[in-house]
Amino acid sequence: MLLRHTTDKITERSALTINPAKTCQPIGAMYAALGVHGCLPHSHGSQGCCSYHRTALTRHFKEPVMAATSSFTEGSSVFGGQANLLQAVNTIFTIYHPDIIAVHTTCLSETIGDDVNQIVQKTRDDKLVPPGKHVVHCNTPSYVGSHITGYSNMVTGFINYFPQRSGNKINQINIITGWVEPSDMRQIRHLAKSMGVKIVLLPDTSNVLDTPMTGKHNMFPKGGTTIPQMVSMGDSKSTIALGPFCAEDAAIKLENKCKVKFTTLELPIGLKATDRFITALSRASNVKVPDSITDDRGRLIDMITDMHKYLFGKRVALFGDPDTLTPLVEFLITLDMKPVYIVSGTPGKRFETAMDNILKPVVPEAKYLNGQRADMFLLHQWIKQEPVDLLIGNTYGKYIARDEDIPFVRLGFPILDRVGHSYFPTLGYKGGMHLVTNILGAIMDKMDREAAEEKFELTM
């Protein structure tokens, strides 16, 4: 057993996290920056940080991830990294020609107290930023929050810089999306297009981190939200923020800056959350929901009805990001499953409130926790105390799944040992079908493996 030292006896911990259910802030900032066209993420810190963040994203997406670094040495670690960043901005615009450099900080530059806002202003004052080019920034100290906080901070950074209010309203809706796969971002655009709704999606990593193989390396792929699109967000009719943790801060910033009203929704994962998203989009643009979407909804309900007997009452443990977990837990309840253990390393009181609201009336025995002590070690201990029928989470769950012989569905970030997550959506009704397919596949594979020969069925 790989995790043989995990026991079912839970000891109170106050200053120790074991196998955290989160990763580092700048990874989120880097991912969000890749969803803007012509943007090069820049890590203001040591080479090691940047290398780790790029590697984490590359391993998940199986795509090359471009990013630059201030390459701190001992000197910059003591005296500050201003000279490195000024030099970097000059070099990057001269050699790589991005439209935007998106600077995020690291633990090191935050700890020594670099004032990145001032340094970025100095790049403009010193005329290091060519005309028509931009440097944006955000702070991402990784000793607070998580990759989700970093994602939110970077998206808010873009809103700080780009949207303008001209006074002429445009018949378009802003959708600020939380951390989802490129396939999901494509799915959001597809749903809006099917409804005839013009949207600006920020960020948008489709056609950036799921590009077709052409034999040529393209430093800045064709996807991503463009600068004119971001500027126009200040004149949009309204904003839908998908995911309170990832997207709401940016939506608030946009409302304060350009008076564009916003609605915050959970990510459209599962039946009810997708219903709310489609309804919000339909109301915001005053359009009818087309038959193609209603039919997809009907197909998801049909699938749930057909397979209900295999899902009913199954106990599920989950870990990951709050914006994903909240609608996912709601969806599992819709499937009549029992989400009994949930942990998220991302702190924030509203996660607990959301879980209270969803779980208390239907699964009162459920245990859930988020923040620093909400780690995978604790999740494993809960599972040891009373087993579950299914585990859902990122790649790191495979150790628990193997030791406890639990069917395992990979969902979230990172997924290092499988493919498909960046190509097949989880969002929307079709995404819901994909999710149910994966859940059923995992549960039924185990049933087949363990069935006695005389009970081994060909049909379901």
Which run of H or E residues covers position 172?
A: strand 170-177
Q: What is the dihedral of CA 449, 455, 456, 459, to 10 degrees?
A: -130
Q: How far is the CB of 56 from ligand SF4 (least distance, A)?
A: 9
Binding mask 42-71 toward ligand SF4 (x if CB under 6 A, else -) reads -------x--x-------------------
CA distance 6 to 21: 16
> Given the complex with ligand SF4, which of 52 and 161 has the nearer CB atom?
52
Token couple for 267:
């990510």
Q: How far is the CB of 49 from ligand SF4 (least distance, A)?
A: 3
How far apart are CB 372 and ligand SF4 at their closest, in Å? 14
Q: How many residues bind ligand SF4 (CB under 6 A)?
A: 7
Binding mask 68-107 for ligand SF4 (x = CB under 6 A): --------------------------------------xx
Which amino acid would we find at residue 97?
H
Give the amino acid at 89: V
- Distance, CA of 106 to CA of 29 (rounded, Å): 10
| Kind plus residue range of the DSSP H or E element containing 243 | none
Query: For the window 294-333, what string marks contact with ligand SF4 as x by the rule CB under 6 A?
Result: ----------------------------------------
Least CB distance to ligand SF4 at residue 151 (A): 14
Q: How far is residue 403's CA from residue 376's CA, in Å, rounded to a whole number?
A: 13
Q: Which residue in the set 20, 21, 24, 137 belongs to the binding site for ligand SF4 (CB under 6 A)? A: 24
What's the token pair of residue 22?
Answer: 């989160």
Give yes or no for a contact between 226 and 100, defined as CB atoms under 8 angstroms apart: no
Given 3-state DSSP classes, what are the helix, strand and coil percentages for the chain, each rounded to the nearest 5?
Answer: 50, 15, 35
Q: How far is CA 359 from CA 309, 311, 339, in A?
A: 21, 17, 8
What is the spatial distance between Cα 68 and Cα 106, in angstroms, rounded to a whole number?
A: 13
Q: What count of other Cβ atoms lies within 10 Å of the Cβ of residue 140?
A: 34
Residues 6+ apart with CB under 8 A from 12: none
Closest CB to ligand SF4 among residues 70, 106 = 106
* CB of 106 or CB of 438, closer to ligand SF4: 106
Q: How far is the CB of 29 from ligand SF4 (least distance, A)?
A: 10
Q: What are phi and psi of 435, to 5 degrees?
A: -65, -45
User: Shortest Cβ distance from residue 109 to ligand SF4 (Å)?
Assistant: 9
Nearer of residues 24 and 388 to ligand SF4, judged by Cβ: 24
Instruction: Compare residues 52 and 310 and give the one whose CB is closer to ligand SF4.
Output: 52
Between residue 122 and residue 161, which ones bind ligand SF4 under the rule CB under 6 A?
142
Q: Output 26 or 425, the one with its CB closest to ligand SF4.
A: 26
Nearer CB in complex with ligand SF4: 93/151: 151
Closest to ligand SF4 by CB, 30 or 436 = 30
Contacting residues toward ligand SF4, per CB under 6 A: 24, 26, 49, 52, 106-107, 142
